[in-house]
């Protein structure tokens, strides 16, 4: 980045900091609240609530990291720094796209049914899942290549690393992050409604009387005693 570009971009970076300085506190407060609810549901044996809060915390932590990468990209003052940020943003996108469809799978949906969520919320969840699956199917191969070769440095052929570094376009990775954020933001909004729903006394009682079997217990039961 030239000196002129740095000078021209300085006001924007200052405005960006001022606009977003309250967001970090909001994120911290929200995560602390949800962590308290998660730990409370765990101590009370509310397995459905625990599973739903687990997804909420995962989504918020992922959203927080995406926001931090975005900040780093905006505030970067060199091409080298932007390339570094883009490579590690790729890792986050790859892992998030791989994990979220699994987290929103059968067990999660069963927990939602057990606490009687409205049908339109389930429709919204289906739309969110389709968004994550579409992103994974379309982008996962390219993300995997960047992740393995120039973020985790698993490519032992250094020419492959250098070629990928030369072809890497941080702005394109940022656009992918924006695409991924669309279903993620919808998931965060859904989880916000679910958190309020779980606070109802009737829902808590329903959760207490419909505890699902934990995977660990089921697995041990199937294995039987060891000889």
Q: What is the tens place of the pLDDT at every residue in 63-100?
A: 999 999 988 888 888 889 999 999 999 999 999 999 99
pLDDT in tens, 200-215: 767 777 777 665 555 4
Is the pLDDT score of 5 beyond 70? no
Token pair belonging to 43: 């101590």
Residue indicated by tokens 């859904």: 190
Helices (H), the chain: 3-20, 23-43, 47-75, 79-103, 106-114, 119-146, 158-167, 170-198, 201-209, 215-223
Is the pLDDT score of 22 beyond 90? no
Question: Whose CA is closest to 91, among 113, 69, 115?
Answer: 69
Q: How many CB atoms lie within 10 A of CB 58?
A: 16
Token pair belonging to 27: 């994120």
């Amino acid at each position: 980045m030239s000196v002129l570009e740095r000078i021209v971009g300085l006001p924007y970076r200052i405005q960006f900091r001022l606009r977003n300085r309250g967001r970090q506190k909001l994120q911290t407060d929200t995560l602390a609240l949800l962590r308290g609810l998660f730990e409370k549901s765990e101590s009370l044996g509310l397995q459905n609530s625990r599973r739903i809060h687990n997804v909420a915390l995962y989504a918020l932590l992922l959203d927080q990291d995406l926001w931090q990468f975005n900040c780093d990209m905006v505030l970067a003052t060199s091409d080298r720094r932007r390339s570094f940020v883009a490579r590690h943003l790729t890792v986050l996108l790859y892992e998030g796209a791989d994990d979220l469809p699994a987290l929103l799978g059968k067990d999660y949906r069963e927990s939602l049914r057990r606490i009687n969520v409205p049908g339109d919320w389930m429709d919204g969840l289906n739309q969110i899942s389709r968004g994550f699956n579409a992103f994974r199917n379309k982008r996962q191969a390219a993300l995997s290549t960047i992740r393995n070769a120039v973020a985790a440095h698993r490519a032992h052929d250094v020419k492959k690393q250098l070629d990928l570094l030369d072809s890497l376009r941080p702005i394109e990775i940022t656009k992918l992050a924006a695409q991924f954020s669309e279903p993620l933001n919808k998931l965060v909004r859904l989880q916000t409604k679910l958190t309020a729903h779980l606070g109802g006394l009737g829902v808590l009682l329903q959760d207490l009387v419909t505890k699902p079997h934990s995977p660990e217990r089921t697995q041990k039961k199937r294995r039987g005693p060891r000889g």
